[in-house]
Amino acid sequence: MSPMLEADFVIVGSGSAGSALASRLSEDGRHSVIVIEYGGTDFGPFIQMPAALSFPMNMSRYDWGFTSEPEPHLDGRVLVTPRGKVLGGSSSINGMVYVRGHARDFDHWAEEGASGWAYADVLPYFKRMETAHGGEDGWRGASGPLHVRPGKQRNPLYKAFVEAGRQAGFETTPDYNGSKQEGFGVMEQTIHHGRRWSVANAYLRPALKRKNVSLVNGFARRVVIENQRAIGVEVEARKQIQVVKARREVIVAASSINSPKLLMLSGIGKAAHLKEHGIEVVSDRPGVGQNLQDHMELYIQQESILPITLHSKLNLFSKAMIGAEWLFFKSGLGATNHFESAAFVRSKPGVDYPDIQYHFLPAAIRYDGKAAARSHGFQAHVGPMRSKSRGAVTLKSSDPWEKPAIRFNYMSHEDDWADFRHCIRLTREIFGQKAFDAYRGSEISPGIRVQSDDELDAFIREHAESAFHPCGTCRMGRADDPRSVVDPECRVIGVEGLRVADSSIFPRVTNGNLNGPSIMTGEKAADHILGKQPLAPSNQEPWINPRWRVSDR
C-alpha cells in the first residue's frame, strides 16, 4: 500500500456489483476509482475452467468460509454459506448460471418502496450489460461486457427433461431471460470461449487498464465517518492499518454477509446491538443485517439404465483427458458447468408467476462434488423461490476479523414445508413422463419408500441445502421506512457520501440465481452515483400465463 491512497470513489469489494461499478464509474475518464479487495488473483484452472466449479467454493483461498448458526428447523444443522474472497467475488466461485429474475420480482421491489426499480426500469440495464449469444430478439443485449450463452445440450438427457416437462402439461420457453420465464427450456451460462466469464473478466480487467482505476489488496475494517459523512475506508494489509480516502463517495459492495457487517462495525445499525459491542452509533438503522433471505434446494436423483451420464467421467483418467482438452482447446466437457436445462414453474392455481426453479444435471452428484452416486444417474435441483422465512446477520464482537453470526432461520414458516413437499412430488411426476422411459431406473434420492408428508419432511430436514443466493440484509426502500437501510438511489439513510450496491439491497429475493441481478444493481447504481439520467424505461410487456388463476400449468 502506498503512503497516500485517495480517489473520487472508493469501492469495497470486486464482486458482481463492485466490478460493474468500477467499470462504469471510470469509463468517461473524469473520476478516479479505487477498488478494495481482500482476496487474491482468480488466475488458474480451478476458477477459469467451468467444469471445476465445485472446487473454488471449497477452498479457503477463494472463499470467506462462512457458515450459518445451527438451524433450529433443520435439526440444528450448520450450513455452509460460500462467498467469493477473490478477484471477481462470488462471480468467480459460483455455478455460472445466468438468470435475470422475473419481471414481477422487480415490480414487487418498486411496490415495497424501491421506486425506479420496477421491471420497466431495470430491463434497459440488463440489456446494457449483456452480449447474449442467442435469446429472444428485442429482449436481450448485444454489446455489453457480460457474455451469456445457452447450454449446448449434447447429452440427450437435457432434452428429455424439457420434453418431460412439456408432456406433464407445462409450458416450454425458448428464452427464460426474455419475455417468458415460465416453462422448461435451455439454461444460460456466463461462459465465454470456454472460460468462466466472471465480472473480473467482463468488467474489472478492462477497467484496470485505465489510468484512473486501481486495486488495493487489503481487508476493509470499517468505513471512516466524520460529521455524518463517509470520508474513506480503514484498510488492513500486512499488519498495517491505513485509510483509503474517498473525495466523493464510499460504495460498499461486499456481499449480503460482509456489507451489513461493515456497516455495523462503522456505527450504522440497530443502536442497542452496536452498543452491546461497544460501537459508537452513527446512524440508528435497525434494518441493517435483518431481512436475510435465500433459496433452498433439494437434489432429486434417479438412476439411469443407460451409461450416458457423467458418472463414467469421474475417474482420474477421464478427468485428466477432460482437463487436457480444456487446457489446450477450451472445449469439451470442461467448458461447461453442466447445468444446461432449466425450468421455472408455478406451484398451484392462483400463483401468477413461477415460484419453483429447476436446474437439471446429467449426473447424480452433490454441488460440492462430493458423494457421487454409485451408478449412472441424473438429478434435478429443485426449490421454492419465495420462502417467507427471514433471518439476520449480526455481529459477534467489534473485532473486524471475527466472522458474523448468520442465522437464516430456514424453514421457519410452515408454508415452506408444504412448498418443498410439492417440489418433490412434482419432480417425481416429471421424471415419470414418457420422455424418460428409455433412461429411468430406480429412484436414488429420496428413494421410493419416502412417500408420506412426515417421511418427506424428515428427508427435507436432513437434506435441504442452500442454493447460495443470500440477499436482503441492507434493504432498499423509502427513506422514511424504518426497515430501509438505503434509499432508491442506494444512499445509506442518515450518512452522507455512503452507498451500498450489491445483493444486500434487494427488498426480496428474485427468481433464480443472483449473479445477474447483482451485476444489474452495480450498473444502475453507477448512473445514480454519477447523477446521470437513468436509462429510459422499457415498454415491453412480459408474458404471464393466461391460465394462472385456474391451473398450475
Domain 1-58+83-151+194-288+473-536 has CATH 3.50.50.60: yes
Q: What gap in Å lies between CA 360 and CA 367, rounded to an integer?
A: 12
**463 classed as catalytic:** no
Q: What is the tens place of the pLDDT at every residue in 259-283? A: 999 999 999 999 999 999 999 999 9
Q: Is 26 annotated as a binding residue?
A: yes
**Any binding-site annotation on 32?**
yes
CATH 3.30.410.40 fits 160-186+296-384+411-463, yes or no: yes
pLDDT at 362 (0 to 100): 97
Average pLDDT over residues 119-148: 98
19 annotated ligand-binding residue? yes
For 441, the grid coordinates are 431406473
pLDDT at 489: 98
For residue 2, say whether it is annotated as part of any ligand binding site: no
Which cell numbers hold the place of 477?
A: 426502500
List the grid coordinates of 17: 456489483
Cβ neighbors of 533 (< 8 A, separation 6 or more) are: 527
Is 21 annotated in a binding site? The answer is: yes
Asked whether 94 and 189 are in contact (CB, 8 A), the reply is no
pLDDT at 373: 75
307 cis-preceded (ω within 30 degrees of 0): no
- Taking only the tens place, the pLDDT of each residue in 16-60 is 999 999 999 999 999 999 999 999 999 999 999 999 999 999 999
- Residue 3 binned pLDDT confidence (cut-offs 50, 70, 90): low
Q: What is the pLDDT of residue 211?
A: 97
pLDDT at 2: 60
Spatial distance between the Cα atoms of 508 and 200, rounded to a whole number of angstroms = 26
Q: What angle do CA 529, 484, 246 make, to 5 degrees?
A: 35
Q: Which contiguous run of DSSP H or E holds residue 392? A: strand 392-394
pLDDT digits (tens, 9 = 90+) for 144-155: 999 999 999 999
Write down the domain spans for the chain: 1-58+83-151+194-288+473-536, 160-186+296-384+411-463
pLDDT (tens digit, 9 = 90+) per residue, 510-520?
Answer: 999 999 999 99
Residue 186 dihedral angles phi and psi, to the nearest 5° = -80, 135
What CA–CA distance (Å, rounded) separates 271 from 280? 9
Backbone angles phi, psi at 391, to 5 degrees: -130, -160
Q: Which of 73, 381, 469, 528 is catalytic?
A: 469
pLDDT for the residue numbered 251? 99
The band of 4, judged by pLDDT with boundaries at 50, 70 and 90, is confident
Known binder of ligand: residue 441?
A: no
Above 80 in pLDDT, residue 366? no
What angle do helix axes 103-111 and 119-129 make, rounded to 10 degrees? 130
